[in-house]
Structure 1
C-alpha cells in the first residue's frame, strides 16, 4: 500500500496537466482587430532563415492598421539585404539599424527597446523572433485574445519544430504540468510567471508601466523577466496555445540546442540549489521508475512510467506536438534535461556563455 501511495504525486500531476489542457486559451482564427498593431522583429545574423518569417508577416490579414518594425542588430551576413529584398515597396515596413548595447544591457533587450521606441503610436506590441512563421490571421487572433483575456501580456506558444524532439516538448509539458494557468493569471505574485519570447503580445500602455525592456536590460531570460515586471506594475499575464497559428524552428541541430539551453537554463531556477532540487525531483518522479521495471515492484514502476507518458501525450495533443512515439521517451528526456541544466551551470562558472557572438 505504501508503495502504491508513492504514485499519488504522479497521478495528481497528470490530472493537473489534463485540467490545464482543457483550460488552455487559444487565439481565434479569422479574427479582425481595429487597433494599431506593431510587429517588432529583432535580427542578428539571420539571413539564412528570416525569409519565411518576413513573408508570413507581410501576409497578415484582419489588421488594417499594421506596421512591421525590423531592427538589424549589427549583422555580418547580409541580413539587412534580405529584409530589403523581401519587403521592397511595402510601406508598412520600417528597417532600423541597431545601436550597440550600452553598458549593462544585453543584446536582445537593447534591440527590443529600440523597436518599441520606434512604434510609439501603437496600441498593441507584438514581439516575434526570426525563427517564427505565422499563419495569416495569427496577429489579429492574438491581439483579440489579449483583449478578451483582459491581460497586459499574452504569450501564445508556437508549435516547436526542428531538432531536439527529446527535449523541446518538455517546455510545453512543464508549464502544463506544474503551473496553475488560471491561478497564474489571477495571482499578483511576480514569481508565478511564465512566458516564451518567440512570440509575445503586449498592451502598449501596460508595457510602458512595467518599464519596458529597460526593466530587464541584463536579464538572460528577458521574456520571463518582462512577464514578472508586468506583474510588479499591477498588470496580468497569460499563456496560450498558439500551435495552430505559428511554428518556431528554434534549433537546427543538437549543437545549436545545447548552446541555446546552455546560455539560459542556469537562470531558470533562481539558484544552483533550486536547480538541483528540481532536477532531483524530476528524476525521482519520471526516470527512476524505469530502473524498477525488473524488480518485485515492476507493476508500480510500470504504472509510474505510464503516468509520465500520459502527461506527455496530453501535452502533445493540446499544443500541436507529436504524441507517438515521442511521449514514450519521457524518462530519457528528463535525464537529458538534467544533463543540460548541469552543463549550463558548469559553463557559467567557467565564463563560457555566449550568444550570437556576444559574451553573456
Structure 2
C-alpha cells in the first residue's frame, strides 16, 4: 500500500508541475483591441429538438453588439418539437441580428447529425455573402452582448484561425455541482489549454459550444467534410485546423454560459458516457489503461490514507495523504471559477469514480451496438 501511495504521489507531482499547469483558470481572452475593419461573421447554430432552451439562448445571439455585419443561421435538424417555429417567433419578438432558419434533409451516410447541420449552415452562409468568420455555437449557449465582438477582436489582432471558449456550464443542482466542475477540470487535464495555445505543440482541442473559425482556415482544412464522422467534433475540428498550419486558442469563458439543465445524475451520465469511449478511439487497451490510471491517480490516495491509518503503516498514510492534498489543491481554482465551496475539492476521488464508471459504461454500450447515442441518433466507430 505504501508503494501504491508513492506511485500516486509521483503522478500528482507530475500533473501539478508538468502537465501544462492545467489546473489554473487564468487562460481567458486577452484584453480587447478593436481591429481597423470588422470582418463579416455568420453565426451557425445547429439545433435538434431545442425548443425548450432557445428562449434562454437565442435572444442573446440576436442582441450581439457587433460593429460589423453579422447574421444568425439556425439549422433546424429534423426537430420534432417546433424548434424552427420557436426560433422565428423569438426573432420577431426580440429583433436584433437577422435570423435565417434552415431545414436540411436527413444526414447523408457517414455524417454525424451535428456536423451535417453545421455543413448546411456554413454553405448557406458562404453563398449568401462571403462571411470571413463563422461562429459555431450550440443552441443551449447564451452569450453576453459583447461576446462576438471580443472573439473577433482576439482573432484579428493576434492572427488566430480558431478561437474557442469553454462555456461555463450550469451548476444549480447537487449533482451539477459535484460533476460539472470536475468535467471541465478533467478536460483541461487531458488537453492543457497552454499546450493547445502553443503553436509548436501538437495538442489541439476546442469547446464546441463556442468556436470562432476563420473561413480561410476551414477551407484549408476541408472542414467540416474532413471530420464528417467525428463524434467529438470540437476536438477533431481543432486538430484539423492546427494540422494544416492554423493557429488556435482555447480558454475559459466569462460571459458565455450553457443554459441546458442536467438536474439528475442520469442526464449527466448520458452527457459523459455518450462520447467517452469515442475519446479512447474505441480501444479496449486504452480503456484498460484509463481505468488503471484513474484508479491510481484518483482513488489510491484516499485508500492509502485510510488503510495506513487503519494499521497498514504510517508511510502509506503519509504518502496517500500527501497525494490527496496535491489533488485537492489543484481542484480548488476550478471550484472558485464555478463559485463553489473549497471544501468540495475533497470529494474529487468520489467524482472521479463516477467518471470511471461512466467511461466503462460507454464502452459497454458501444459493444452492445448502441454507440454514441444523442437526440435519437446512434453513431458507431468511424469507418475508414
Q: TM-score, normalised by structure 2?
A: 0.85
- What do you get for the CA RMSD once the two structures are aligned? 2.5
Q: Find 1:330's aligned residue among 348, 356, 368.
A: 348
8 Å CA contact 2:32, 2:153 repeated in 1: no
* Counterpart-to-counterpart distance in 1, 2:53 and 2:10: 45
Give the secondary-structure state (helix, strand or coil) at the position aligned to 1:166: helix
Deviation at 1:76, TM superposition (A): 0.8
Q: Could you tell me which residue of structure 2 aligns to residue 299 of structure 1?
A: 318
Aligned position for 2:27:
24
1:265 corresponds to: 276
Please give the residue correspondences for 1:62-81 in structure 2 after superposition, counting only pairs within 5 Å: 62-81=66-85
C-alpha offsets along residues 71-98 of structure 1, whole Å, 9 cap, x if unaligned?
1111111111111111026561111112
Question: Is 1:241 aligned to 2:252, yes or no?
Answer: yes
Counterparts of 2:39 and 2:284, CA distance in 1: 44
TM-score (norm 1): 0.90
Q: Distance in 1 between matches of 2:105 and 2:91?
A: 22
Q: CA deviation at 1:117?
A: 0.7
- C-alpha spacing 1:249/1:332, structure 2 compared with 1 (3 Å): farther
Task: Say which is worse superposed, 322-331 or 284-293, in terms of deviation.
Answer: 322-331
**Relative to structure 1, is the Cα distance of residues 30 and 188 closer, same or farther in structure 2, using a 3 angstrom cutoff?**
closer
Shift of 1:277: 1.3
Check conservation: 2:8, 2:300, Cα contact below 8 A: no
In 2: Cα distance, 1:148 partner to 1:15 partner: 31
The answer to whether the 8 A contact 1:45-1:77 is kept is: yes
- The 8 Å contact of residues 156 and 239 in structure 1, kept in 2 or not, is answered as yes
Equivalent position of 1:10 in the other structure: 12
Matched residue pairs, number?
A: 357
Residue in 2 that maps onto 1:57: 61
Tell me, in whole angstroms, the C-alpha distance in 2 between the residues paired with 1:123 and 1:48: 31
Residues 357 and 179 of structure 1: is their aligned pair in 2 closer, same or farther, counting only changes over 3 Å? closer
CA distance in 2, matches of 1:359, 1:282: 27
Q: Which moved more, 1:269-278 or 1:225-234?
A: 269-278
Task: Report the alpha carbon displacement of residue 154 of structure 1 after superposing the two structures with TM.
Answer: 1.7
Give me the whole-angstrom Cα distance separating, in 2, the residues matched to 1:312 and 1:18. Answer: 15
Name the structure 1 match of 2:382. Answer: none
Contact 2:25 2:333 in 1 (8 A): no
Describe the shift of the 1:6–1:72 C-alpha distance in structure 2 as closer, same or farther (beyond 3 A): closer
Which residue is 1:106 aligned to?
A: 112
User: C-alpha separation between the residues in 2 aligned to 1:82 and 1:173?
Assistant: 35
Q: Where do 5+ consecutive residues of structure 2 fail to align? A: 380-384
Unaligned runs of 5+ in 1: none
Alignment CA distance shift 1:157-1:288 (3 Å): same
Which one of 205, 208, 220 corresponds to residue 219 of structure 2? Answer: 208
Residue 93 of structure 1 pairs with residue 102 of structure 2 = no
Residues 188 and 232, structure 1, Cα contact 8 Å, conserved in 2: no
Q: SS of the residue aligned with 1:174?
A: helix
